[in-house]
Chain A
Amino acid sequence: MSMLLLILGMGLATFAPRYVPLLVFRDRELPADVKTFLGYLPPALLAAIAVPSVLAPVDNRVEITVVTIPYLVAGVVTLVTGLFVERFMIVWTVGLAVFFGLRWWLGAM
């Protein structure tokens, strides 16, 4: 039941930003300051998600083990590759190859 509510809540959260402007804004624009803030919010959130996932992948602890090394190395490789290569699928595949390759090599899987 709570999962149903959560899914509906997420549905509302993804639907509202898509629909409300269609309902409210006809010819008007969002205030410029709001737009600027909204522009910075997603990169900030992505960094807030990704950085701990790479630096502290297990139990929120920063540590160097055979389990965490692939996250750290592949995370950095993915980000750096992404700065130079534009194709999403290529960068993503490179990141995964490094990650699972290292895991295999270090014997974590």
Chain B
Amino acid sequence: MSDRTPTRAPERPATPRGEFVAGARSMVPFLLSAFPLGVIGGTLGLASGLSYLETFGLAMVVNSGTAQFIGFKLISEGAAWPVIVLTTLILSLRMLIYSTLLAPHVRELPQRWRLLLGFGLIDAVFFVAFDRIKGDEPARRKSMYYFGASAIMYVNWAIATVVGMVAGHLLPQRLRDGLDFPMTAVFLVVLAGALAGWKIWTTAVSAGALAMLTIGLPYNLGLILAALGGACVGMACERIERRWFPPEPDEPAADPDPPEPEVTAGADGPPPGAVPHVRPGEHVRPGEPVRAGDRAAGDRAADAAADVDGR
């Protein structure tokens, strides 16, 4: 990164380095809100029985707060590795949507650049940088903005993780015993943001009930079963709605195409977060995923920004 930052950020920085710095700057609100979560992540890693190196390594390899938090939780519960990996995969599925939206705009980039682009993809970066990525500039230059945003979030998370590992020891044991709740709270906040409409409510209630029924299964297998079962219930709700409550012909929802999960950019939900952006209940017209990259939407996401992956 440049050590001589421009006196004021130009609207369209002319140089790749200028783009990189502008991208990094755009992440400031996210940096502030992600830092405390990174600190807790570092503390939790050690509390879950991992070594310093494993905690830091896991944080840096997955580059996803959600995956990291659930990983620590499941590891401390002694879950089987396929369950942990599958859970991580499911929580990362929303990235398929971001990545699919990015794909046509970066196809001329070299393979290695796209690898890096993929690795650095997190919610916050997507919402802030997609606007620039879908522009007409040469792919190499506009992607520097994305890389700037992505890189500073990564470094911020690394520093926060180290601080958490070092400072976590200062907490009294009795306080550390309750440290699984901050993680649970993260998932609850993200869930609350996703709960829009009867279909998602039904999905969540079914999944929660299934999880309680299967709680005794070994290796936390119940988690996966409940998630898949809940999602099937969601699909069933979708079918029911389409059959019995067909949308009005003039409504956007009347689009003959089956609904795509909408990327709302946190516009009407809390979450910068992960999941909440994907609201299966809402519909989006083809060719309109543009909303995801709206400047305003990105800014709103930035405001709300502290979901573990809003980081």
**A residues adjacent to B (C-beta < 8 A):** 2-23, 25-27, 29-30, 32-33, 35-57, 60, 62, 70-71, 74-75, 78-83, 85-89, 91-92, 95-96, 99-100, 103, 108-109
Contact = CB atoms under 8 A, between A and B. Distances in A.
Q: Interface on chain B toward A: helix, strand, loop, or mixed SS?
A: helix
A72 to B, nearest CB: 11
A41 B93 contact: yes
A3 B188 contact: no
Contacts, number: 315
B181 interface: yes
B100 A38 contact: no
9 contacts: A3-B54, A6-B85, A18-B92, A38-B278, A40-B203, A44-B204, A48-B208, A70-B178, A86-B266
Interface of B: 33, 50, 54, 57-58, 61-64, 67, 70-71, 73, 75, 81, 84-100, 102-104, 106-107, 114-115, 117-119, 121, 174-175, 177-178, 180-182, 184-195, 199-200, 203-212, 215-216, 222-223, 226-231, 233-235, 238, 257-261, 266, 269-275, 278-280, 286, 303-307, 310
B270 A109 contact: no
B96 A21 contact: yes
A106 to B, nearest CB: 11
A10 B54 CA distance: 12
Contacts of A89: 33, 306
Contacts of A92: 182, 185-186, 189, 306
